[in-house]
Structure 1
């Protein structure tokens, strides 16, 4: 009986660890996404921000129409993707979406990033010709989907951002709070490769090591707790 309980506790720990992994997305996963307004098959896929687990899928449908789907963890924050002329925030147009925890209802808007203050990030404005915007919350991830009309290839300088936790734009003005993390990348649409700027790579590399260390410590504590309970059961 005691041995059975130890086995149950052990597999509970394994199940807890795998549940964290199941919340991730990857370009090798079998991708299906109900609830969007366009066909999401045959999209190219690229990991664009590894430290925040951002995945971008895209497809050119014709001379002037592109499909985009941004996948990111739902950390109860807004997430955004921007098209930039120079890789910087100011002067970019971005698509930002959020789904507050427990609400089931999200919002997605285009913003014109005319400055670094919330009052200069203007909702429902921007240079992008966007249609069929939608946001889907699935498996603890957010999926921002939209179609972009452009006579030229989309700007290759892309920016990404994650907002502060538990703080969303209000329906009174939809102004964005200052992001808690951001990055700038260059995407080669032909090859499907994305690269962060050198400064971003150095900073994110440090962050990734910190996150990996934190995750390892968390899992170690959980394992010790499980083993501790197992020993209590065996010797009582």
Structure 2
């Protein structure tokens, strides 16, 4: 109830409080804009001191920056807060590549590349990885952050797998030079600088960008908030996003393991050990091998799709791809053998049997080799290795048991067969 001595309407009170809050907010922002901290950690171990930003914004997030403002960040003079050689490298190319991530790089004639990655930062960590095939597993990355005490940290990590326990610090395959890496904060941005020396001029390279909002614990990275894989052309500065999900890779591996690792071997076992079930063995063999061929064909098509998305040169991937196509050709020849099967009385039946048997065995052998190679280059993990090892052991055990039973049966038939008598001719 309003006091009669102060007849101020409620609406005026609300307007006054609103204007007061706007004024207070403007003063706070003005004070914050004047506190532009510059901090750098330049030693080899990443020790030093720094004052991190606040803890409420997202690392690498937009932070209220528009696209125009992001591109204008390339005009910031880095000489004022980055030590040599990072501050005085000439010929930097600067490209906004994802979200608020900005990449500066310069590549010399001796293949030494200086890289400076920056992003809006509050807490957590920021990382840039170099991948062989566009996938996170098997890549090496540089990661920088400021801990709770404001101390800068920058380390190389080897991403052995997709789990946090498989991200190993102080490991990796990046060819770092003797120039110590640097992590710094300038305003609202974190800057991570390092040098690499490659054997050849770096051109197209899959790189992985990621950030986390929580501090690493004992140098163990927390799970990333977001990540992006892009194909970056260091010779021209262009980039394209690589949309390769782990699900596509798992589907490719699962189809190959089911088709070439289970169905086709089972289909090959039937005609060798169950021919006494005539003509059932023939129809089972034909149907099972047809289903296995469909799975194999789907595996190759999905693999070609993955290869085109990755668009990288890797000897292991090329070998895996070549073996897969070779197996597909052998499988197609086996399908053609079904239509070219001569009659039992034909003089070509013996040659057809050789062709059909040995091409099939050759396809199954290379299929098992390619599955193992795929698990290795895909960094599929121990569960895939154990799973395929178990399946392979079951198939081999079944073959050993069936071969033993077949040998025992043949031997038993020979011993129990009635003796044959030859009558002497009448004298």
In the TM superposition, what are the counterparts of 1:1-40 in structure 2 within 5 Å? 9=22, 13=26, 16=29, 25-26=70-71, 28-33=74-79, 34-38=81-85, 39-40=88-89
8 Å Cα contact 2:183/2:191 also seen in 1: yes
Tell me how large the CA RMSD over aligned residues is. Answer: 3.2
Query: Is 1:147 aligned to 2:192, yes or no?
Result: no
C-alpha distance 138-22 of structure 1, shift in aligned 2 (>3 A):
farther
Match of 1:220 in 2: none
- Aligned twin of 1:100: 147
The structural deviation recorded for 1:65 is 0.5
Conservation of the 8 A alpha-carbon contact between 2:74 and 2:95 = no
Partners of 1:8 and 1:182 lie apart in 2 by 37
CA deviation profile, 1:77-129 (whole Å, cap 9, x unmatched): 1110001011110010100010135x332110111111112221111111111
Give me the whole-angstrom Cα distance separating, in 2, the residues matched to 1:167 and 1:29: 30
- Give structure 2 stretches of 5+ with no counterpart: 1-14, 34-62, 246-427
Give the structure 2 partner of residue 47 of structure 1. Answer: 96
Higher helix share: 2
C-alpha contact 2:210 2:228 (8 A) present in aligned 1: yes
Report what 1:177 is aligned to.
Answer: 222
Deviation digits for residues 160-181 of structure 1, max 9, x if unmatched?
A: 1111x232231xxx22122111
Question: Does the Cα contact within 8 Å between 2:157 and 2:171 map onto a contact in 1?
Answer: yes
* Partner Cα distance (1:56, 1:7) in 2: 42
Residue aligning to 1:88:
135
Structure 2 match to 1:112: 158
More strand by share: 1
* Higher RCO (Cα < 8 Å, 6 or more apart): 1
Q: Which secondary structure state, in structure 2, belongs to the residue aligned with residue 119 of structure 1?
A: helix
Residue 189 of structure 1, aligned match among 214, 219, 234: 234
Distance apart, 1:188 and its partner CA: 1.1
Alpha-carbon shift at residue 8 of structure 1 (Å)? 10
Q: Unaligned stretches of 5+ in structure 1?
A: 201-236
For the pair shown, which has the larger CA radius of gyration, 1 or 2?
Answer: 2
Whether 1:58 and 2:105 are equivalent positions in the alignment is: yes
